[in-house]
Amino acid sequence: MSLKRYHYILIIGSLIIILSIINHIAVLHREAVSKEQMTSMAKNAAQNKVIPVNEVKYSFREIYEVKTNEKKVALTFDDGPDNKYTPQILDILQENQVKATFFLVGRQIDKDPSVVRRIHNEGHEIGNHTVNHPNLNNMEIQEITQEIEENNTKIKDLTGYTPVLFRSPYGNASAEVREVLKHNQLLLINWSVDTRDWKETSPKMILANLKKEVRPGSIILQHSFGGRKVHNTIQALPEEIKWLKEQGYSLVTVSELIKQETH
């Protein structure tokens, strides 16, 4: 082998070794940087972690409205979800950048679980409204327990959290109902403003009822399921939101409203 050819082989071999070393160093560097970034992200996540309001447990009590000096109110919608009216309500809330609270019925959850996920994913609060919407005052405590705990499980399975808010069908809540709610650390949420949308009230009268009764800390009752009458709710909702904002009100979830409570 000539000396010249030998030198070429030696040079090429050396270059291959050097390139291998450089590549190995680069891989080690990328791994170190990646590990440092992941550590930093984990540290920041831990520092910035916020416990969602709907994961906070409350001591049982019954709430009709919240005493506050802040001009804040909570829109609430009962009896859903469905795949016709509830999505239209969600569209209106999204367009107006408003958050609300939905008290959901278990048998409806089974029919339209995707709507439940949408409610949750868009930042609205979900409360428990029983599985079958019965008059709980006519039931034994074991039946009441099943209605409430089974619906909490349905909601948790779809959203990852257990509701802390409960609204009793027809507003009925016997001593037995209260006992079950205490055991499950649920707040009993009623309302102070009834828009009467459940009575097939016209959109104009729904708005009039709201204007007549609303004040800071109000919890407003409406519905997102229940037949053609909900169409009136949908027609009235944009005007309700517009008027409330014009009066200086912020529209928040029930749990956010409770945070504004003064004693």
Q: What are the residue numbers of the active site?
A: 78, 223
Fill in the amino acid letter for 86.
T
Answer whether 86's CB lies under 8 Å from 224's CB: yes
Answer whether 127's CB lies under 8 Å from 82's CB: no
Q: How many CA atoms lie within 13 A of 101 on its CB side?
A: 30
For residues 193 and 172, what is the distance between their CA atoms, to the nearest angstrom? 17
Cβ neighbours for 256, distance < 8 A, ≥ 6 positions apart: 53, 72, 74, 99, 125
Fill in the amino acid letter for 137.
N
* Gyration radius of the chain's alpha carbons: 28
Answer whether 207's CB lies under 8 Å from 239's CB: yes
For residues 133 and 114, what is the distance between their CA atoms, to the nearest angstrom? 20
Q: Residue 8 corresponds to which tokens in the numbers above?
A: 């070429």
